[in-house]
Structure 1
Amino acid sequence: MRRSVRKWGRLCAVAALWPWLAMAQQVAPAASTAAPASAASVALPDIPFAAADAAAVSVPSAANAWGGERSGNEPTLSDRVVSYRIDATLDVAKHAVSGQQHMTWRNRSDRPLSKVYFHLYLNAFQNEGSTWFTERKVLTAHGSSRGAAVLKKGEWGWIELKQVKQGDAALKWRFVQPDGGPASDQTVARIDLAEPVPAGGTLTLDIDFLSQLPRVVERTGWWGDFNLVAQWFPKIGVLELAGERGANAPRWNVHEFHFNSEFYADFGLYDVRLTVPSNYTVGAVGKLQRPPETANGKSTYHYVQGDVHDFAWVAAKGFKTLDGTWQGPGSPQVDVRVIYPEEYAASAAPVLKATTDSLTYFSNSLGAYPYQTVTAVVPLYNASEAGGMEYPTFFTADGYAKVEPGTLTQYMLDFVTIHEFGHGYFYGLLASNEFEEPMLDEGMNEYWDDRMLRERGQDIVAASGWMKRFGIAPVIPPFVAERLIAGLRQPPDPLGANSWDRLSSSSYGTVYARTATAMHDLEERLGKPALERAMHAYYRRWRFRHPSTADLRATLAEVSGKPQAVDAIFDRYVYGTAQIDDRVASIDTAEVLPLAGSMLKDGKRNELDGDALDKQADKQRKDWDHAHPDAKPGSGPFPWHSTVTVRRDGVPVPQLLRVKFADGSSEDVRWNDDRRWVRFDFTKPSKAVSATLDPEQKIYLDANKLNDSRTTKADGSASRRWSADAASLLQVFYALMGSL
């Protein structure tokens, strides 16, 4: 994956920005009958697309990327590139939104532009010819995934551009496939400008559009009187500059809407008015400016939010609200609202508490929360695929009709709430590219969520179903649960792979748990204080700036002061597909007895007879047993020689081997080299009875922990424990991961 970025840089330098022009011509018929664009706009060379296989960036961004680190003294939190003013009206009978959008966008590049690119995400759901549906067929054939619903007549969704104007000029547009997807995909549109937008200049477009929501299949849509309106408006792509996320020259980062991908956009200002029936409950990104204006059975809600990069909202009949507030150091007072249906009333208070607890943890451990609102939505039962989704200051959670403290249900509800709130930092404030680097959002967020759960002392208690009836209720710490589902044995894709170019949806799903496990092990190598200092610095440097994988790596290495440990994790697991699997292969023990044979001593040769030595040894044993009636087996009058053999079936990792002896003593030895096998020898008063690699359980990336230990006598307790944990986790995994 990394070579695509380097290759892209060479192409830009050699071919003067032209190589991707042919790909840009994979177009559908023009969707407007307006006059052709001006000759001046046609004459300008194209800026190419980000590579179709772009993934984890390996070169750190320039210091001035995205305007440089935000000091906090700027007039706005982010360097606002775009501004949207939208007036939208929801037709609840048709589940359709008619919108008028006034957008201003700043050309950050050093050259004039004759065309711009927009995401039209809802077109992923208009037919089975979209990239999204095409990929779903392939990826779900090789693994399970959410978003598997089948849409019927009247349930498809789309977005239509009714009119696009630049000043008084009506513009033409056409659909393109930047990643080489099917020509029938219409999730990206190229708009040809009547007048070029100059370098550093501002483009203003007025767009009339109609968004037809699909029945909820994934993330967005309707069910009954519930409407989650997301990915619903024409959204301009990101123009990246040299030195930003591996770019060597300006490029459009505007990928098609892939099945497993999410989003990436510029920071800006959203000023949105939403008109809905007055008997509907409404919630949205940002702060409500005043009580809604009501007339003729309809109400108009006015929301404004600066320094975010998306806008989503909900309108649902019969939903209720539960409100709270939160205040933390460096943050404004935050109004917290939970919007929920009556059937999930039991979930409202737990979601509110988990949200306010998350505000405290993430603010203390990463940095202050800068916004004045957080809104959490609990979808209906039949709209559960709209749950577990994140937008700035706004997310959807899960819902349960009954929530008992200390149960699996409580854990799952809290986990999803914490996870979706956490996206407000890793997806929202840090604004990583979820198309190309999902590890930076899904993976790093999962890791930080697990740390919060660990600090809370909140483990998975699988006390439900048949396990509860039989009195089996394993307690599984969050990081143990992650490693059990992380796919550590021979992973097909590196963690740093992009979201869509993977073997299967299951491989994409391991981004969550495998990243959390890798970061857990990195924390063990760096030490918790060093890791926390580094993550504080990462947030401070890169908030509102779109960091890359290389930027995370560089910050961790610099601030921790242990670049080799950081490089080992990133080279092997983020950019590679290494696996760890060290094991205790054997334990051999033998008494150290006098040896038969001839030897020269003091000028005289003596011969020791084997039979005589055996009789002498037997007598010594009997005398010793008589004198030590309470001695443990494996002890005696003679020392013991024990040999422990360890094997390595994966990449090297610093290991601690702990050997226990029959008399209760133990000895630790280090295995910190690249040998494939090692024998450790011990001569002690008693024999070795067990040997364990990683006795302190710090290396969770090891693909098989069951072979980390061995005893001289059969002992099934470890396998029984891990088997019980794994069995309980199965019922957790399919319910939990499907919610994320």
Structure 2
Amino acid sequence: MLCAGGAWAQDAPAPAASAAPAVAPTSEAPPAEIPFALPHAGFVRVPSAPTAWGGPRTGSEATLSDRVVSYRIQARLDPVKHTVDGQQQLTWRNRSDRPVSAVFLHLYLNAFEGEGSTFFTERRLLAAHGGSRGIAPVKKGEWGYIDLGNVEQDGAALKWRYVHPDGGPQTDHTVVRVDLAQPVPAGGSVTLDMNFHSQLPRVIIRTGYVGKFHMVGQWFPKIGVLELPGERGAAEPRWNVHEFHFNSEFYADFGEYDVRVTAPKDYLVAAVGEQQGDPTPEGNDLTWHFIQGDVHDFAWMAAPGYKTLDGEYTGPGSPRVKVRVVYPPEYEASAKPVLKASIDSLAYFSGTLGPYPYKTLTAVVPPFNASEAGGMEYPTFFTAESFVKVKPKTLDEYLLDFVTIHEFGHGYFYGLLASNEFEEPMLDEGLNEYWDDRMLRERGQKVYLTKPLLQFFGVEPPLDAFMLERMTGTLRHPSDPLGQNAWDRLSSADYGTVYSRTATAMHDLEERLGKEVTEKAFRQYYATWHFRHPGIGDLQATLAAVSGKPEVVAQVFDQYVYGTERIDDRVSDIVSEEVLPLAGTRVKDGHREELSSEDNDEAIEKQRDAWKKAHPDAKPGTGPFPWKTIVTVRRDASPVPQTLKVTFMDGSVETVRWDDDRRWARFAFVKPVKAASAELDPERKIYLDSNKLNDSRTVEANHAASNRWGADFAALLQGIYALLGTL
């Protein structure tokens, strides 16, 4: 642990749970010398400077990332009280060109101390307007918090106080300002020694305990990010240190973590990073030691009775990766699928984006009643789903694989690319969802929403992952731009569409740019921005430059990332009529003659009769006269390049492009045969279209859909009757 002067001492006693701060916190801080990021900051259109965050990492540097901070933490778990007492030595480097007289720390766990926090204030508002995780009631004794104790700089006690960068309630205690005894000079570093006491909540969201299981995240004082000019749109240095919002996640500098965790000897501990040898006995406890560099967060779990399943990944450019699944006995069936999906994910993401650079990957299967701890990501460490049985071609199988792939994928978009999840959640949740769906597509993995028995009777065909995304994306009336920040949202349900709408928008952009071009662009995005902190403008700039189609990329970003446009193109009508001779006067052999309607009709019938005799086996829709087909298409929302396919009675096809801004258009075709149908987007490339049912029309009524549903229902009834007959 840490002595008062900052020396590291493993045998120092843990701080008392009731340790008091050196100075009682006040309700508000005086103006900071360096301003905060704006309370409602969101997407950044402007690309970052080429030198932002130290410039692209070439691989020849001494460390993978430009390490800004290091943490040395000694933590002790009390499994009965569900508390963690810790001492921490934090060293931070001032990257700016000016002295820094105050630093800011996140105390994330205080989001769960009471209903007065920003987290709970927004939970009441947003959850009331749409479902969300993290909304279970908190009972007596189930709250969580973190008490910051003494903070010292070179032995001098420092003053600290709560601040509210986003103008949240005064009862929010998730950010503190620490006034330094001596400013940190430009390019210099400061080391702070502190102790803290964390009371874990019963799992509310991402972190907490259930029974003897402890998922310990957001548990230690964590320094904010000082952004510099040219980084994510900043014109001057600014502290990006937002309060802990209900829908928000995290943003932090890269650094090194050296963490020792002491827990009862019958507990298994798993954590971010590489375990340093076997745990060290201390009476009835064991101390586990983990080190990991070039990451920006640290989390761990501890529980008795847990089992492990180990595997390994080797691939070009990556070290040998030890893969471990940690699981409770009741969910043993989940362990092998999670291990396989984890190793498959390592291969896919390494092959399509860039090599996985770490030596470990740990997946935790939460126990019964701890689902709120599932589906959460940290660097080299994530939590998965939990199922007692995992049958093939079921929704359970799909969810277990998808959540594993999704949480691993965060290791790239949240972890290695280190996007600002406060202000630009699309860059993590959205892009990760898109890349997960691409992996599922490559796997040929489908979504089964019904039980196997119903599938047997043919009631439901499987869906691909992207189709499921468009079904859940509220494409008809999107409330917020995809690039909006995490907390300025109409509801939690609308925030949830960051996942599905981003995946759908990127799917459609891929269709316009091409699969290979899109993949090349994302490889470049990763190569340029991993171990840095890109903004949305950096993503757009990379896609535009690599694809060579900046106007296409700009249209998609303007409509969906920066705006709330939607697509709804439709076939309004289709008319196919014979081109018949017309009554009236005409000039023949230099003389004008008149053809009456009666004579014209008679001549037409004669031609029909003669043609039928000459073509006794003619197909419907053919005859002696050509057919003129007119298709009217309408645009009820934003323009998008469309393909119109017209199919004729003889099976022939005509296609035309509708690639302009007209609100409606008519296309005419003259053919020897009658038209059968017209269809927009025949290859089903435009998933953002909010209503695919109006994309096609037939010349004659088509009852295929109702017949299909009737047949499905009849098949189901027949199956039930057959089953009953065997009883």
TM-score (normalised: structure 2): 0.93
Relative to 1, partners in 2 of residues 1:469 and 1:35: Cα closer, same or farther, differing over 3 Å? closer
SS at match of 2:677: strand
Superposed CA offset, 1:440-486 (max 9, x none): 00000000001101001111123417844854232101111111111
Q: Any residues of structure 2 matched to 1:162-177 within 5 Å, and which?
A: 162-177=149-164
Displacement of 1:716: 4.3
One-letter amino acid of the structure 2 residue matched with residue 104 of structure 1: T
Q: CA separation in 1, counterparts of 2:107 and 2:400?
A: 32
Relative to 1, partners in 2 of residues 1:355 and 1:45: Cα closer, same or farther, differing over 3 Å? closer
Q: Does 1:509 align with 2:496?
A: yes
Q: CA separation in 2, counterparts of 1:350 and 1:627?
A: 66
One-letter amino acid of the structure 1 residue matched with residue 467 of structure 2: V
Which one of the candidate residues 472, 475, 485 is aligned to 1:498?
485
One-letter amino acid of the structure 2 residue matched with residue 575 of structure 1: Y
Q: CA separation in 1, counterparts of 2:641 and 2:156?
A: 66
Aligned residue number for residue 347 of structure 1: 334
Aligned residue number for residue 383 of structure 1: 370
Q: CA separation in 1, counterparts of 2:381 and 2:200?
A: 19
One-letter amino acid of the structure 2 residue matched with residue 384 of structure 1: S
Q: CA separation in 2, counterparts of 1:554 and 1:376?
A: 34
Q: Any residues of structure 2 matched to 1:220-235 within 5 Å, and which?
A: 220-235=207-222
Aligned residue number for residue 395 of structure 2: 408
Q: CA separation in 1, counterparts of 2:256 and 2:236?
A: 26
Q: Does 1:213 align with 2:172?
A: no
Aligned residue number for residue 700 of structure 1: 687
TM-score (normalised: structure 1): 0.91
Q: CA separation in 1, counterparts of 2:514 and 2:508?
A: 10
Aligned residue number for residue 473 of structure 1: 460
Comparing 405-414 with 350-359, greater Cα deviation is found at 405-414
Aligned residue number for residue 7 of structure 1: none
Which one of the candidate residues 512, 516, 522 is aligned to 1:535?
522
Displacement of 1:69: 0.4
Q: Does 1:643 align with 2:592?
A: no
Relative to 1, partners in 2 of residues 1:50 and 1:435: Cα closer, same or farther, differing over 3 Å? same
One-letter amino acid of the structure 2 residue matched with residue 325 of structure 1: E
Displacement of 1:630: 2.9
Q: Does 1:575 align with 2:575?
A: no
Q: Does 1:675 align with 2:680?
A: no
Aligned residue number for residue 75 of structure 2: 88
Q: CA separation in 2, counterparts of 1:473 and 1:642?
A: 35
Q: Is the 8 A contact 1:647 1:677 kept in 2?
A: yes
Which one of the candidate residues 51, 60, 63 is aligned to 2:38?
51
Q: CA separation in 1, counterparts of 2:611 and 2:391?
A: 60
SS at match of 1:637: coil
Q: Does 1:709 align with 2:689?
A: no
Aligned residue number for residue 552 of structure 2: 565
Q: Is the 8 A contact 2:394 2:452 kept in 1?
A: no
Displacement of 1:720: 8.2
Q: Is the 8 A contact 1:32 1:171 kept in 2?
A: no
Which one of the candidate residues 219, 229, 239 is aligned to 1:242?
229
Q: Does 1:434 align with 2:418?
A: no
The answer for unaligned runs of 5 or more in structure 2 is 1-19, 713-727
Which one of the candidate residues 353, 357, 367 is aligned to 1:366?
353
Q: CA separation in 2, counterparts of 1:558 and 1:306?
A: 32
Displacement of 1:627: 2.8
SS at match of 1:239: strand
Relative to 1, partners in 2 of residues 1:209 and 1:722: Cα closer, same or farther, differing over 3 Å? farther
Q: Does 1:118 align with 2:139?
A: no
One-letter amino acid of the structure 1 residue matched with residue 47 of structure 2: P
Aligned residue number for residue 6 of structure 2: none
Aligned residue number for residue 284 of structure 1: 271
Q: Is the 8 A contact 2:264 2:285 kept in 1?
A: yes
Relative to 1, partners in 2 of residues 1:458 and 1:720: Cα closer, same or farther, differing over 3 Å? farther
Q: Does 1:597 align with 2:597?
A: no
Displacement of 1:687: 1.4
SS at match of 2:672: strand
Q: Is the 8 A contact 2:145 2:201 kept in 1?
A: yes
Which one of the candidate residues 259, 276, 284 is aligned to 1:272?
259
Relative to 1, partners in 2 of residues 1:57 and 1:720: Cα closer, same or farther, differing over 3 Å? farther
Displacement of 1:33: 4.3
Q: CA separation in 1, counterparts of 2:392 and 2:640?
A: 40
Aligned residue number for residue 324 of structure 1: 311
Q: Does 1:201 align with 2:184?
A: no
Displacement of 1:294: 1.3
SS at match of 2:261: strand
Comparing 713-722 with 538-547, greater Cα deviation is found at 713-722
Displacement of 1:574: 0.3
Aligned residue number for residue 735 of structure 1: none
Displacement of 1:620: 2.1
Which one of the candidate residues 299, 308, 320 is aligned to 1:333?
320
SS at match of 2:625: strand
Aligned residue number for residue 715 of structure 2: none
Aligned residue number for residue 535 of structure 2: 548
Superposed CA offset, 1:211-236 (max 9, x none): 10000011000000100000000000
Aligned residue number for residue 307 of structure 1: 294
Superposed CA offset, 1:634-662 (max 9, x none): 11111111100000001111110000111
Superposed CA offset, 1:101-142 (max 9, x none): 001000111111111111000000000000101101111111
Q: CA separation in 1, counterparts of 2:331 and 2:588?
A: 89
Comparing 517-526 with 619-628, greater Cα deviation is found at 619-628
Aligned residue number for residue 173 of structure 2: 186
